[in-house]
A and B are shown apart, each in its own frame.
Chain A
């Protein structure tokens, strides 16, 4: 194990560097804020001959992901990146990538959706893709974005499922942080030269990929896809073990818990605001409140068992999330946390806090005030002029 090199990198730079080290056969992508620099930086690597990837600068995100589908079906290692409207435009092809069991890895620079147009961070984009059959992993910081991008290729190629590695727009994509970068050879050793198995269009034998499946066979295909997703936690656990062995870093696979063992109030969050939430929990501890934090690392498949186990003892669960379902039930994470806790004897009360839409800052004072008062349950929009509480339908 060679020592890692410490570098100052933005989230986008760290992802581009991970891509270079992963040496994909094909990258097909389209620029969009705040993911653009991933593709820009990677194009420079290609132009300088630092990586021998076939770069397909597609004319849209729909075509970018379509090209990824073609390349992955040909047996290539394939990476792409997008955000927001770009991910929305890819929506149709997301389902095809997972349905064809193609191990494409995509970095998503999380950004709000139009209208009104907004280039800043929230999770509306990837939450809209949550049921597309992609594994979804949310990075906490730049190091995590780098590590998870490397890990995602290992996992995708073994689970035979596409993986999104999500990093918060601007708060991670454009923030410079110290990152421990592993030697190229170590990355090569970790992921190998090409996907270890799977089908290819280029093997010489006739193979029909993407056939028409009618009611007599379609459900079996979809059930097999669900089964593949059910196997992902195991693959992820193996992946983080292999990762630790290769690089010496221990990564949580599904959830990351801090101070939840004795917590009365457990915060649940995804992405880069985990740091702010952890600080809020620590401030709670200082005030004498037994507060803890659970970060959902892998949102798909949903870590229901891990959350039940971690949250069962809490009186209150406060879900902090940057997306809304607009269903009257709050945000998607809140809905699914409630579903995971349903049926527990003395299940915790869940307050679903929607914050940070379109890059709105999370203010410590607002969060502290919420945690110090009587938690209302239901849905809270935090930091909104004229904020109000919705009762669950």
Chain B
């Protein structure tokens, strides 16, 4: 279903076994990037690849379902600009998006800490 994969782990497989575990990752990543500055789709993909150091592997078009979903949920807003005869939509965070980002960040920090504890325990 989702095209975003963690390197070596198929997120679609994880989703089936534990739906709430990694579902918010694409949203969290996109909201975090848009919180820094306004971006269009291609820029978001480049920013994900750069800041994550290519940790994610995904079809680049799959960023748009995420952006459109966030827009439908009023977490981001878009404005249209014409560049070289092509329509371009710039996305930025809304106030609701900032709240959602804070909630997702807190949630993800808890998951990451839990995973770190498990990994730490495995190595101990």
**Do A and B make up one complex?**
no
